[in-house]
């Protein structure tokens, strides 16, 4: 969606009602001498920093589109002493899940005085009693050290569940606030829960913390875990490079995450400085011909003796032939482009009577499961704190994110309306081309 087409309705944040309770943070801020620490709903962050567009909008008598700024409100909706929170993690693993859980629990319990935070086990399955999963009592003591470990201590699963049944369970548990940590599908599920609770007149705040290791959700600077994933990917690239340059006619090939967006492949390639070719979903390529991928790779081997290739998992699906099936989350299953390229390279080099030593590395699950790096830990903490502030204020149907270095509230419908992708004409891809020396396209 073009930012200039956004309306105030697109950016509106849902609310459960009037806030009448003084925040328990008020006396704390006063002791700190920080009266300004509270934010009003009128605190806004520009969606687009294009000055020409802003000037034109103002000249035409309109207001430039803005996001509501995240942060503590002076008055809150829920009485902390009577509030029950729940946290659910959905989808695949990502560095920082435990950090977000910990931040939510610490903020809710220590800063707001919420007496109970429930961990919903194994994703949305945990809200369906028939699965038999036991709820987890998330206390500050329980979460005190979980950020030292990867994964999620409350478990996760993929796929939707029956929405009315999940709302039945939340009402039965007297949950007032549900935090959904997950990707676009999970956030859509949270929105459906929010809508169902609203139809029933049940006051439930649903606040999302967006999780996508591919960094492909729109209107956020980056997603948590992305920096850690890139750093872990660089280690795999180093190993592949060592294998390649230590062998005669060596090729090191690393397949990284990126179903639709090649951000990890691009950033890891630039950070390593060792890649000679990067393939991403946004830039199609051909295999055959004098300037195709296969011959370009062979020429690199003949010229330099080795090469390093990074391929995002969603690349070249038009060549691979994807299976006509979906996973538990409803995503189309991808063909294995890494195995495809490996086989094609071996066949081509054999046909050209050129020796080849190829080492193929797929570190995806190792990357997903590592603990968050320090910068991601900071980011996760800030997101968890912002989520609790929003929920206690009675806001709902939103995700918290960082936009232009500020923390904001984004409507779920907006952030799930499109996918963020690498611009083949933009600075990031240009940096990749400059770093690798590869042609803009293999054609």
Beta-bridged to residue 409, according to DSSP, are 68, 400
Residue in 214, 216, 227, 376 annotated catalytic: 214
* DSSP states of 119-169: EETTGGGGGSGGG-PPPEE--HHHHTTGGGSSS-TT----S---HHHHHHH
Beta strand pairing call for 75-76 and 21-22: antiparallel
- Residues constituting the chain: 443
Q: List the one residue out of 73, 74, 76 whose CA is nearest residue 20.
A: 76
Q: State yes or no: is 214 an active-site residue.
A: yes
Within 10 Å of residue 2's Cβ, how many Cβ atoms? 6
Beta-bridged to residue 208, according to DSSP, are 180, 399
For the chain, what is the largest distance between any 2 Cα atoms, rounded to a whole number of angstroms?
78
Q: What is d(CA 95, CA 377) in angstroms, rounded to the nearest whole number?
A: 9
Tokens of 331: 């995503």
Q: What is d(CA 251, CA 307) in angstroms, rounded to the nearest whole number?
A: 5
Query: Any idea which residue has 């796929």 for tokens?
Result: 159
Q: What is d(CA 52, CA 55) in angstroms, rounded to the nearest whole number?
A: 5
Question: For residue 157, how far is the Cα from the chain centroid?
Answer: 16
Helix 263-272 with 226-245: angle, nearest 10 deg: 60
Tokens of 283: 């830039």
Q: What is d(CA 35, CA 91) in angstroms, rounded to the nearest whole number?
A: 40
Q: Residues with catalytic annotation? A: 214
């Amino acid at each position: 969606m073009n930012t200039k087409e956004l309306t105030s309705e697109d950016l509106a944040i849902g609310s459960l009602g009037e806030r009448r309770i003084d925040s328990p943070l008020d006396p704390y801020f006063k002791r700190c001498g920080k009266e300004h620490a509270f934010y009003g709903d009128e605190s806004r962050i520009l969606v687009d920093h294009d000055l020409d567009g802003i000037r034109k909008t103002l000249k035409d008598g309109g207001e430039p589109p803005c996001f509501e700024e995240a942060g503590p409100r002076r008055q809150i909706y829920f009485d902390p002493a009577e509030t029950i929170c729940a946290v659910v993690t959905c989808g695949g693993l990502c560095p920082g899940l435990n950090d977000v859980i910990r931040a939510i629990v610490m903020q809710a319990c220590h800063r707001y005085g919420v007496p109970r935070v429930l961990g919903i086990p194994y994703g949305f399955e945990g809200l369906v009693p028939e699965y038999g999963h036991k709820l987890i009592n998330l206390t500050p003591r329980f979460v005190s050290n979980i950020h030292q470990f990867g994964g999620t201590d409350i478990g996760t699963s993929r796929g939707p569940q029956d929405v009315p049944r999940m709302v039945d369970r939340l009402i039965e548990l007297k949950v007032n606030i549900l935090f959904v940590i997950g990707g676009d599908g999970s956030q859509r599920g949270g929105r459906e829960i929010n809508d169902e609770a609203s139809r029933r007149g049940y006051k439930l705040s649903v606040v999302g913390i967006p999780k996508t290791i591919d960094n492909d959700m729109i209107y956020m600077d980056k997603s948590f875990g992305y920096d850690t994933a890139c750093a872990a990917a660089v280690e795999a690239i180093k190993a592949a490079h060592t294998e390649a340059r230590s062998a005669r006619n060596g090729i090191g090939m690393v397949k990284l995450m990126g179903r639709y967006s090649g951000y990890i492949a691009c950033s890891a390639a630039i950070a390593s400085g060792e890649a000679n070719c990067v393939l991403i979903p946004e830039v199609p390529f051909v295999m055959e011909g004098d300037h195709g991928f296969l011959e370009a790779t062979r020429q690199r081997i003949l010229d330099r003796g080795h090469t390093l290739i990074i391929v995002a998992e969603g690349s070249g699906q038009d060549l691979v032939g994807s299976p006509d099936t979906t996973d538990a989350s409803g995503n189309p299953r991808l063909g294995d482009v890494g195995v495809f390229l490996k086989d094609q390279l071996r066949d081509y080099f054999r046909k050209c009577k050129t020796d080849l030593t190829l080492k193929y590395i797929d570190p995806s699950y190792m990357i997903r499961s590592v603990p968050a790096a320090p910068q991601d830990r900071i980011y996760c903490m800030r997101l968890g704190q912002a989520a609790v502030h929003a929920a206690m204020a009675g806001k709902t149907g939103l995700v918290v994110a960082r936009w232009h270095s500020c923390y904001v509230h984004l409507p779920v419908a907006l952030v799930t309306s499109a996918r963020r992708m690498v611009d083949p004409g933009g600075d990031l891809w240009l940096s990749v081309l400059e770093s690798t020396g590869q042609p803009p396209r293999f054609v």
